[in-house]
Amino acid sequence: MIRVLFVCLGNICRSPMAEAVMRDMVKKEHLEDKIEVDSAATSSWHIGEPPHRGTQDKLREYGISTIDMQGRQLQKSDFEKFAYIIGMDESNIRNIRTILGNPNSPKIFRFLDLTAHRKDVPDPYYTGDFQETYELVQEGCRALLAKIKQELL
């Protein structure tokens, strides 16, 4: 099993969106028994909470469920468990390294560095633009799935 973890600040806007979109893609390609997807926060602010209303509404618009999703915080043991630990922005990457004990590992990287954008995913908690974030999340997940499929060959 290849395990993928998306990480953002609150685990209510961007990383749960990436988790749900990625899981949907994995399911559509019948790869559920090969790829497992999760998400986590660097902060403890929203532990146990469902995704932000804006993330829920945007995903529902595209037919993607957020049922049973709840916020959790990144923990040190996640480093061994996951093959990919993906931060949605550069500050997430710094916080991930701190929480995980500063490992210098290629499995930790910024989400959109997999795409031609090579930038932070804008945080809709502040921008209010869940559509912009959704489109970038789609692109990033598409790139990630292509990368993992190469590895599965």
> Active-site positions?
8, 14, 123
Residue 12 in contact with ligand 4NP, rule: CB under 6 A? yes
Residue 140 in contact with ligand 4NP, rule: CB under 6 A? no
Closest CA to 74 of 95, 103, 48, 50: 95
- Closer residue to ligand 4NP (CB): 34 or 117: 117
Out of 19, 24, 120, 123, the only residue in the binding site for ligand 4NP (CB under 6 A) is 123
For residue 57, CA distances in Å to 15, 37, 80, 122 come to 15, 21, 33, 18
Distant-in-sequence, close-in-space partners of 57: CB < 8 Å, separation ≥ 6: 130
Q: Closest approach of Cβ 110 to ligand 4NP, in Å?
A: 14
- Closer residue to ligand 4NP (CB): 55 or 106: 55
Residue 62 in contact with ligand 4NP, rule: CB under 6 A? no
> Is the CB of residue 35 less than 8 Å from the CB of residue 5?
no
